[in-house]
């Protein structure tokens, strides 16, 4: 907790630019240029990865970047009400959720997974059932999340792009969709 409080004090002291942008966006509202749907993994922070500032990215993060009703509704809001023109669904290397789904498929027990976490792993396991490699599974999982978003009438027209982030090199690879 102390670390969080100190971090906020550092943020407040950091730069007048932040204060100016906070003021502008609180008065004029937000106009994020893209939506990023990605994993909650602490090594995958979109604002760092894309050198984005306050008000620029509308971010949805879940373990394994899975998309259900709440996530899809969040993206609908960003596209329909805030005018975001692009949705990027980004998986990443060494994803723990995808790894757990691969293990589940290979028969290793996840009997002790809590119910809600188990639902995430099951969703991914179904999406990657034809994949044998981690890289293939991460891609298939991204494509599944894109398909989940496309279930929404509101998201039929918006541009949705898949990507994979390499947690070691920092490089984002755009997938052919
Ligand atoms: Zn992950």
Please write the tens of the pLDDT for every residue from 91-107. Answer: 999 999 999 999 987 77
CA of 21 to the centre of ligand 1 (A): 30
Kindly list the strands in the beta sheet with 34-39, ordered across the sheet, starting from the edge strand earlier in the chain: 57-62, 34-39, 86-92, 159-165, 172-174
The pLDDT-based confidence of 22 (bands split at 50, 70, 90) is: very high
Residue 18's pLDDT is: 86
* Reported pTM: 0.94
Length of the chain: 177
CA of 44 to the centre of ligand 1 (A): 8
Tokens of 96: 């723990």
User: Which DSSP category does 33 fall into?
Assistant: S
Taking CA 116 as the corner, what is the angle to CA 115 and CA 119, rounded to the nearest 5 degrees? Answer: 90
Mean pLDDT to the nearest integer, 163-170: 98
Q: Domains (ranges, CATH) in the chain?
A: 1-28 (no CATH), 31-174 (3.40.1050.10)
If we measure between CA atoms, which residue out of 66, 48, 65 comes closest to residue 57? Answer: 48
CA of 72 to the centre of ligand 1 (A): 18
Indicate the range of 2-11, 18-27, 105-114, 166-175 predicted with least confidence: 105-114
Tokens of 78: 């960003």
The pLDDT-based confidence of 111 (bands split at 50, 70, 90) is: low
CA of 43 to the centre of ligand 1 (A): 9
Q: How far apart are CA 163 and CA 141, in angstroms?
A: 11
Q: How far apart are CA 102 and CA 119, in angstroms?
A: 14
Half-sphere exposure (Cβ direction) of 8: Cα atoms closer than 13 Å: 4
CA of 107 to the centre of ligand 1 (A): 21
The overall average pLDDT reported for the chain is 94
Among residues of the chain, what percentage have pLDDT more than 70? Answer: 97
The pLDDT-based confidence of 15 (bands split at 50, 70, 90) is: confident
Among residues of the chain, what percentage have pLDDT more than 90? Answer: 88
Residue 70's pLDDT is: 98
Tokens of 127: 């999406």
Tokens of 6: 């100190």
Per-residue pLDDT of 32-89, as tens digits, reads 999 999 999 999 999 999 999 999 999 999 999 999 999 999 999 999 999 999 999 9
């Amino acid at each position: 907790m102390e670390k969080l409080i100190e971090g906020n004090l550092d943020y407040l002291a950091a730069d007048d630019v932040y204060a100016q942008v906070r003021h502008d966006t609180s008065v004029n509202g937000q106009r994020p240029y893209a939506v990023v749907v990605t994993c909650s993994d602490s090594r995958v922070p979109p604002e760092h990865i894309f050198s984005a500032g306050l008000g620029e990215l509308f971010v949805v993060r879940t373990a394994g970047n899975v998309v259900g009703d709440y996530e899809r509704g969040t993206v609908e809001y960003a596209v329909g009400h805030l005018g975001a023109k692009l949705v990027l669904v980004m998986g990443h290397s060494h994803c723990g959720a995808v790894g757990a789904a691969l293990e589940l498929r290979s028969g290793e027990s996840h009997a002790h997974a809590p119910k809600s976490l188990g639902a995430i792993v099951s969703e991914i396991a179904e999406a990657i059932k034809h994949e044998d490699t981690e890289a293939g599974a991460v891609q298939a999982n991204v494509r599944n999340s894109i398909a989940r978003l496309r279930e929404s009438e509101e998201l039929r027209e918006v541009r949705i792009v898949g990507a994979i982030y390499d947690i070691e090199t920092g490089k984002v690879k755009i997938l052919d969709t």
